[in-house]
Amino acid sequence: MERKTWSYELPPAGAPDVGVEQYQVAGPGAESWKATALLERGDELYVAAAPSGFALRRHLVAIPWSAVERVDHDELTIHVRGLEDAVELDPTRAVENEPAEARRVTELPPELVGPQPTGDVAGPRDRLRLFGALGAAALGFVTLMGVVAVISESTTPWRFVLLVVPGVLLVLALVLSIAAWKRPYAPSLGARRGVGRRPL
């Protein structure tokens, strides 16, 4: 992927997200990515995106808007055709609240917004599966301590079979945690009732 040296503007630390910032980016080669900012350089519009989660080295790419297939505002997801035309951005060229060759766009041009959804309105929230993961993990650890206590006091040969119960609970917690981490956004209850809409 070609690296560009032009400067670009990112949201200031602690600033509220606007437009498509923090939307999930989905598509070939962009699994578990997030949009950092919408950038405009000359007549070109780019989605600045980075992999989600912890990384030793900041990896930020600019995806041309022409590669965007659609924007799902209900799921807070930008669907892209791929990263073939994306370029890598130099982390040392990022600025905040300063002039840059690629400026941060805080509002989508009307011609790019398209029809807005009239049903559920999306909002970031912890999914139900995340709470399920926490509950399964807590129950798994409590059960594990109880099983260990039983095993230490018992001499029957089948006592180790009891480890299956906390094992299943902890595996379930891990699976739910991974699923919640990959899809951290979902329409909220208030959104279903039409309360509040993310500004664009």
Residue 117's pLDDT is what?
46
Residue 158's pLDDT is what?
76
pLDDT at 28 over 50: yes
Q: How far apart are CA 180 and CA 186, in angstroms?
A: 10
Instruction: Report which of 33, 72, 69 is spatially closest to residue 49, judged by C-alpha positions.
Output: 33
Instruction: Report which of 143, 159, 163 is spatially closest to residue 151, judged by C-alpha positions.
Output: 159
Report, as an integer, the average pLDDT of 100-110.
81
Residue 129's pLDDT is what?
65
Q: How far apart are CA 71 and CA 23, in angstroms?
A: 9
Q: What is the pLDDT of residues 6-21, one digit of tens each?
A: 999 998 888 888 888 8
- Collapsed DSSP state (helix, strand, coil) of residue 18: coil
25, β-bridge pairs: 33, 78
Residue 16's pLDDT is what?
84
pLDDT at 189 over 60: no
Residue entry with tokens 């939307």: 23
Name 65's Cβ contacts closer than 8 Å, sequence gap at least 6: 44, 45, 46, 47, 112
Strands 94-95 and 103-104, sheet pairing: unpaired
Q: How far apart are CA 24 and CA 83, in angstroms?
A: 15
Q: How far apart are CA 27 and CA 82, in angstroms?
A: 6
154 vs 96: which has the higher pLDDT: 96
pLDDT at 120 over 80: no
Report, as an integer, the average pLDDT of 26-36.
82
4 vs 183: which has the higher pLDDT: 4
Which range, 83-97, 115-129, 173-187, has the best average confidence (pLDDT)?
83-97
H-helix or E-strand spanning residue 134: helix 128-153
pTM passes above 0.85: no
Residue 140's pLDDT is what?
82
Of 34-48, 68-82, 176-190, give the lowest mean pLDDT range. 176-190
29 vs 171: which has the higher pLDDT: 171
Q: Identify whether the C-beta of residue 40 lies closer than 8 Å to the C-beta of residue 103.
A: yes
Q: What is the pLDDT of residues 51-99, one digit of tens each?
A: 876 554 567 899 998 898 888 888 888 899 888 888 999 988 989 888 8
